[in-house]
């Protein structure tokens, strides 16, 4: 990934559709994250005609949806989602396990995850978090494409 070559700290198995990351070395993204093509981890602001830089931290398994923006010094903990057209203000801390929406952001609902054991959707069964292994695949039922795919493959709900 070209962003890593420029100095961005990006984890494994990430989809970063963002076309514009101005300060690569100020972006820190965990594993298994997805950034929509129009989402934007903004690492600079102009305050009183002075450009100020700040780091943006994104935890593991996070999602930035359509037109979502993280302003400098903001943090997304693990398993969070930033909703469409939402803005996390400068220094905002998004708590783990919730979906955040709005401008400025606020908690909308707890994130609902479905876990498929062994990475096999054909015969997968939802399992509790205590039984997760390195091969466990996590799907978010709040995401329409994951929900549709799980239903098409005959997911066994427990």
The region of weakest confidence among 14-18, 27-31, 70-74, 78-82 is: 14-18
Q: What's the rounded mean pLDDT across residues 108-133?
A: 50
The region of weakest confidence among 7-11, 80-84, 116-120 is: 116-120
Q: Where are the domains of the chain?
A: 2-110, 113-152
Mean pLDDT of the chain: 75
Which positions ≥6 away from 148 have C-beta within 8 Å? none
Q: Can you list the alpha helix ranges (DSSP code H) found in the chain? A: 2-6, 144-152
0.85 surpassed by pTM = no
CA 127 to chain centroid: 22
In CATH, which of 1.10.1060.10, 2.40.30.20, 1.10.10.60, 2.160.10.10 is domain 2-110? Answer: 2.160.10.10
β-sheet bridge partners, residue 16: 35
């Amino acid at each position: 990934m070209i962003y890593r070559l420029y100095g961005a700290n990006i984890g494994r198995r990430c989809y970063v559709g963002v076309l514009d990351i101005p300060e690569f070395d100020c972006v820190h993204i965990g594993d298994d994250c997805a950034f929509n093509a129009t989402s934007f981890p903004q690492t600079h602001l102009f305050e009183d005609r002075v450009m100020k830089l700040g780091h943006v931290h994104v935890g593991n398994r996070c999602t930035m949806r359509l037109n979502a923006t993280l302003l400098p010094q903001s943090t997304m903990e693990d398993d969070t989602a930033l909703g469409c057209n939402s803005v996390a203000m400068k220094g905002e801390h998004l708590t783990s396990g919730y979906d955040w929406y709005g401008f400025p952001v606020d908690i909308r609902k707890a994130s609902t995850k479905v876990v498929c054991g062994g990475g096999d959707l054909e015969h997968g069964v939802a399992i509790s978090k205590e039984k997760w292994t390195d091969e466990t695949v996590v799907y978010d039922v709040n995401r329409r494409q994951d929900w549709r795919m799980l239903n098409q493959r005959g997911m066994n709900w427990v």
